[in-house]
Structure 1
């Protein structure tokens, strides 16, 4: 795999005199300087720094005994746990490239991912055995003896990770790695075909680790992790916490009440959350009874956090909010300091240090400030490319007049007079009605002003007269009895003529990905069946 990575172009801007302190090397010192400090907490208990590093080193040494070479991939299919985190670290210490897999993927997609990433090791948790059993006869690259359980022996090898480790030494010998070596492959959340494998090298992660420490993810951090480790959302905060000697509290599955209990019990200082989690946590009836005074900052990513939710969280939940906008691929990076910018809460902030944002039209021409177009960006952290997919990598590139490579986001947005970025819609989700571009976020914002509306998604549906027209899919607040027509009338009275919504339909809930993104394609499918969109 290393040769494959080296063959990929490096689009990230150069940094003069750049040095690297690989995570597999850096964390070794913590075993001695703070060995008795808690490193990880999961539902089974606590793991000290000395215990975590000893276990991770044993995993690394065993992987190498089994033939792992620098750059080789190791795949894991598991919910968040201390053991899974130590497997991740052990892979990095050994010089391997970690491939965390989604337990929410279909069997077909998961089997394709495992084959696509060229892994020769697969570790599976007990909670994912049903999914594993659905696909294990389709796996050709991972031999049965290297299909190992994390907390179960019900796998082809008949071994859990402790059996596999045996009496392997915890001798400290982290592999030598370079900035160009692969760190991880994160698979996109595609629902059809094979999701794309996003390859990050050490350059990408090292620069991110340093930058995120500025958000307080340091040795004093107690970080409550409630999103899955196969998501870059999680890694953005979890890896810097470990890199700097902090503590991770790992939730195997998110539950709003349990989140609050853990936050109070462990005096949590930081958490990376997605927008829907903010709403669910603050909707807990006993939210205000919990002591959350230890919080210093909460981060948010994966989708824009609505200004109304920010306002409520800033009022009721101690600590600042830092909203982060970016792609798993990198290249685009903005941040919003909510405490410092109370008039900009509907934006996703300004470009981070070392990044640049531009707006382009359909022909790839740059647009002036204030005009709406596709967001493109370049930053100090940029992926090496989509693994095995050179053409798809090339398709997302935009070259500036100065000859710099930018990544296309697929998001539509605009920059205001102060350089703050506003996201309006995914390009593919934009509604074109009667020749006018309609951005769902504008309509959703108005619908959310109605006192009965708890959640909403606006999609385009077929219209014989207009080509397509907006439809509002609404989740009402508990106990509310307002009709679809009354909510429609409320919204259309506030919208311009070209924006007006054709109808409102109630839903019990909206389908979301595991990191909280509304699955609009799934919502649109019944309306567009047999038609082109």
Structure 2
């Protein structure tokens, strides 16, 4: 059996000694990557993992993640992305809801998972005798069978809606040749934006529970390139690595770039960033002033912007030549994607008119894991309502201006108010609550909670912060609280979050 072009197995044969992953002082070649993944796959197979299974993956950026995810691809096992910042309770919900056989993680202390009935547990960096199966033991397993896997991973991402319960987006599964052809064309155009040079050196700073982080790693492998890993993120370290390794491609959320922009000039001047050929950003609104700074400092031919959603995949992109000539745009659709601006009754609106953004793409879902087919108010004729508000101009460029759904985007990370509200309502002093996103210069948005207390009950902001401490991941916790007598509601009793948001976003071009 010949390996698929662009896979780890392919490059292990063509350029075995080429560095595939650099993490600090550690370097893993393509030969080492493939050999380690073969051994780990053998070990996981002996533990009962089979094609069609799913396994949770809770990791910081590391060489071990690259090895284990490749082993899963060799076995035909889907990866269930689990944010390492989630509390154990939040993470266990995803593992159970997805039907995963267990969890692989690089937690400093994984002992709690052994008591959580997580199933198959794979640990990294643990001493012998601890819970689960150690990566360090799996990677020494004698290889009985050399395995080959597809280039692109089978990946389950979790998103949330108005219910507050995270929902799994199933892996893409083409059902017929026509769809498979459309999917292939779509995949090729997404992988080509931005263009990765052959054997590209890329900087990877996005987490692996994020679709864009996985895509960056996969695309680098496809061209036989080298991934330079940075975690935790540090602005000066990022540009030092770009200089040291002559990085060509970097995908970053706006917050990361804003932190570089904030560095003193004398620090910026220490590093040569001329090797960069493509800098891509997205996942949150990109300030026009940031675009101007990047173009002024790095040139007008390398900044790209992307817009997408877990339920429909990548939607649109803005090439460098339109960054300043089409200010505020989220770009043109990828091949195979159709964008419709619709009203409440699914009527299409003409160019220039504002409505909800609905998307048809080759990877649009028709259900969440464990749920029935989506109802017509969400999905109709292959178009999925994104919950974002915007318009198309006469040239077909998309502009995202608001959000129907309540989701907050902070530093490129999605935060769902309903999850926060559900936890805060468990506090004995809280009668009602509404969480909204308010502007924050570094992260774009941050959560703010409007609290209505029960009669005669008193609670302080500090007490609520302490209450959330072990119940909610730190990045989800509100940074601001306001105590009010009652929440604004419609005649039907629906909380009018727009009224709460309006004062905070007044005078801004965008409400997201």
Instruction: Output the TM-score relative to the length of structure 1.
Output: 0.71
Distance 1:329 1:229 in 2: 18
1:139 correspondence with 2:113? no
**1:407 to 1:371, Cα distance in 2 relative to 1, 3 A:** same
Partner of 1:405: 382
Kindly provide the CA deviation profile for residues 268-324 of structure 1, in whole angstroms up to 9, marking residues without a partner as x. Answer: 000111111111112111123310000000111212322221111111124511111
Cα separation, partners in 2 of 1:105 and 1:224, compared to 1, 3 Å: same
The match for 1:164 is 138
Q: Aligned runs of 1:71-220 on 2, under 5 Å?
A: 71-127=52-108, 129=109, 132-134=110-112, 136-140=114-118, 142=119, 146-153=120-127, 157=131, 159-169=133-143, 171-174=145-148, 183-188=154-159, 193-201=164-172, 209-214=187-192, 215-220=194-199
- Which deviates the most, 23-32 or 40-49? 23-32
Distance 1:389 1:248 in 2: 37
Contact 2:253–2:281 (CA under 8 A) maintained in structure 1: yes
Deviation at 1:196, TM superposition (A): 1.1
The counterpart of 2:344, out of the listed 362, 377, 381, is 362
Aligned to 2:22: 41
* Whole-angstrom CA distance in 1 between matches of 2:398 and 2:60: 34
How far is the alpha carbon of 1:167 from its aligned partner?
2.9
Measured in 2, the distance between the counterparts of 1:34 and 1:471 equals 48
- CA shift at 1:194, angstroms? 3.4
* Cα offset, 1:521, TM superposition: 9.5
CA RMSD after TM alignment:
3.4
Cα distance in structure 2, aligned partners of 1:107 and 1:119: 15
Q: Which residue of 2 aligns with 1:351?
A: 333
- Secondary structure of 1:29's counterpart equals helix
In structure 1, C-alpha distance between the alignment counterparts of 2:50 and 2:5, rounded to whole Å = 15
1:235 aligns with 2:214: yes
Q: Residue 260 of structure 2 is aligned with which of 281, 302, 320? A: 281
Kindly indicate whether the alpha-carbon contact (under 8 Å) linking 2:162 and 2:406 is maintained by their aligned counterparts in 1: no
Tell me which residue corresponds to 2:396.
Answer: 419
Q: Does the CA-based 8 Å contact 1:109-1:192 persist in structure 2?
A: no
Q: 2:273 aligns with which of 275, 292, 301?
A: 292
The one of 342, 346, 361 equivalent to 2:324 is 342
Give 1:192 deviation, angstroms.
7.8
Matches of 1:70 and 1:471, distance apart in 2: 41
Could you list the runs of 5+ residues in structure 1 that have no partner in the other structure? 1-20, 431-439, 442-458, 460-467, 477-518
Contact 1:55 1:170 in 2 (8 A): no
- Residues 323-342 of structure 1: matches in 2 within 5 Å? 323-330=305-312, 333-340=315-322, 342=324
Secondary structure in structure 1 of the residue aligned to 2:321: coil
Q: Compute the displacement of 1:95 (Å).
A: 0.7
Matches within 5 A, 1:392-471: 393-394=374-375, 397-399=378-380, 404-429=381-406
Length-normalised TM-score, structure 2: 0.74
- CA 1:51–1:323: 2 relative to 1, 3 Å: same
Deviation at 1:209, TM superposition (A): 4.7
Output one character per residue of 1:69-105: Cα deviation in whole Å (capped at 9) or x when no partner. Answer: 2210122211010111111111011111011210111
5+ residue gaps, structure 2, are 175-179, 410-416, 418-433, 443-474, 488-494, 497-512
Q: Deviations over 1:373-429 (max 9, x none)?
A: 1101112333464211225x4467432xxxx31111110101111111111111135
Equivalent position of 1:10 in the other structure: none
Pairwise CA distance, 1:174: 2.3
Quote how far apart the aligned CAs of 1:26 are.
3.4
Give, in angstroms, the shift of residue 206 of structure 1: 5.8
The residue matched to 1:335 in structure 2 has which SS?
strand
